Amino acid sequence: MTSSEITNEKTIGISRRTLVCGALLAAISGSTINMSSAAAASIPSAKGVKKLAGGKFQVPLASNPTLKKAGTILIVGESKGVPVALVSTSSNSFKAMALICTHAGGPLELIDKQLVCTLHGSVFGLDGKVKISPAQTALPSIKVSTSATTVTVG
């Protein structure tokens, strides 16, 4: 019986087995996983994004008309090596989040309007909430402000 079973605490983090398997895989393949390219492969990038001071991104709505449709997701850039996505929740409402699995830090791909971790299969909705574990925590949200012409993320 493990200590977490005795205390009924949920343990969150990377298990020793996951860490060892990941290190072995990286050693065998001779490379590391590039999260931004994995996410970029299945999620389109926003057009005309300006990177602002303080790690913020300004997304022009005129250059990204698909954002008028609820459920649209676009990559707006990277923050500390992690892809940042903007999701349209309605024609004038948006949510931004970091695209990194909260279970073991794996990259996410867009599959059937869901974000799926390529490492262990966690599934997140476009609202960032966990739909299928092993992840237990929603994707990290990022502040969003909106004007008539732009959405600022960060």
Question: What are the structural domains of the chain?
Answer: 34-153 (2.102.10.10)
Residue among 82, 86, 88, 87 nearest 102 (CA): 82
Q: Spell out the residues 6+ positions from residue 102 whose beta carbon is closer than 8 angstroms to its own.
A: 122, 130, 135, 136, 137, 138, 139, 140
Q: CA-CA distance, 44 to 87, in Å (whole number)?
A: 12
Sheet containing 108-111, strands listed edge to edge, beginning at the edge strand earlier in sequence = 108-111, 114-117, 123-124, 130-132
Q: If you ran DSSP here, which 8-state letter would residue 7 be given?
A: H
Residue among 80, 86, 89, 94 nearest 36 (CA): 80
Q: What is the pLDDT along the chain (154 residues), one digit of tens a residue?
A: 443 344 344 434 445 444 444 443 443 333 334 444 455 468 999 999 999 999 999 999 999 999 999 999 999 999 988 999 999 998 789 999 999 999 999 999 999 999 999 899 999 999 999 999 999 999 999 999 999 999 999 9
Sign of CA dihedral 137, 141, 116, 31: negative
Residue among 118, 107, 121, 114 nearest 35 (CA): 107
